[in-house]
Amino acid sequence: MKEPEFVGNTPRDLQTLKSWCARRNEAALDPELPIIDSHHHFYDDERGRFLLAEMQEEVGQGHNIVATVYLQHKAGYRQDGPVAMRPVGEVAFAAEIARQSREGATRFCAGIVGHADLTLGEGVRDVLEAMGEAGEGRFKGVRHGATWDDGRAAYGRTFAPRHLLLTPEFRRGFAQLAPMGLSFDAWIYHPQLPDLMDLLTSFPETPVVLNHCGGVLGVPPYTDRAAVHASWSAAIRKLAGFPNLSVKLGGLGMLYGGAQWHLAEDPPDSSALATAWRPYIETCIEAFGPDRAMFESNFPVDKQSCGYGVLWNAFKRVTVGYSPSERADLFHGTASRFYRLG
């Protein structure tokens, strides 16, 4: 049977997803285990509305989400002024949500990762300083997305230039991060992992976290899952040799990975997700160790494949054999240390 054609990561709107995910409810496993959701988004634009109220509804599904880290998603940009400074608005947008939620049990946006154009070179320092002020102590670092592919994953996307991480202008901007006490979130696809190795070789002092298990593609031409896993896992093991690199465990519900949960009448349960995701999560943990690996929801993007509570149950199922201290790192400690959450 011919596989359905990939038409982007977000083919269904948020209201449709809310109704679909409601068809699968599970009680939270290990409900007392503290969790820092190390990667999620907010926005209120043509993509829909996913703000504090919507995230609180997700968090209210029984897991002990004690804090979250907001990741840039082109939301809340300034509408005028210098183009380079417009992303500062997103940091202020996330900081305002943090203020709105400061009395609750969950510290939403305890850490904020913004976008700054690192190809500005030394000129990006002014942007980073403005973000630090806008973040009110919560601004922790930047993500300058570098995803590129000439296969089906390119559908509906505007990519960064190919080999962005290797360019001199990007590296001049990247060099500003460590002296300012900032980290970098690396968002690339698995065929690009060698570029990250090259970057890390040149910048051994800059804290970097690899997003989404390294962006494993599963859409054409990457449909041979065994071959993809072999090449990806080899790169992951090499990357783990860089002590300044950590990895986020998640993003596996994004449709570019080739999963087709979104086509089913009912969303998957956590056992099915754990079975599908275990080969990727365990490979990352074995390579990096629990002290350099952190779980993420990547919501609402990963909601295309499953519900929030079910997602965390899947992560807990995958790690049931780990010690209490190892699980503490994976679900809370690593994220707290990497993002300096206190």
- What the block records as the tokens of 329 is 């790192």
Cα–Cα dist 41/76, whole Å: 11
Cα 61–chain centre separation: 21
Q: Is the pLDDT assigned to residue 173 strictly greater than 80?
A: yes
% of the chain residues with pLDDT over 70: 99
222-264 pLDDT per residue, tens: 999 999 999 999 999 999 999 999 999 999 999 999 989 999 9
Sign of CA dihedral 154, 159, 162, 163: negative
- Given this model, what pLDDT does residue 3 score? 63
Burial of 319 (0-12, 13-18, 19+ CB in 10 A): buried
Least Cα distance to 160 among 147, 174, 142 occurs for 147
| Mean pLDDT of the residues in the chain | 97
Cα–Cα dist 107/321, whole Å: 29
Tell me how far apart the 2 most distant CA atoms of the chain are, in Å. Answer: 55
Model-level pTM?
A: 0.97
Q: Where are the domains of the chain?
A: 31-338
Second-level CATH architecture of 31-338: Alpha-Beta Barrel (3.20)
Least Cα distance to 59 among 91, 35, 30 occurs for 35
How many contiguous H segments (helices) and E segments (strands) does the chain have? 11, 10
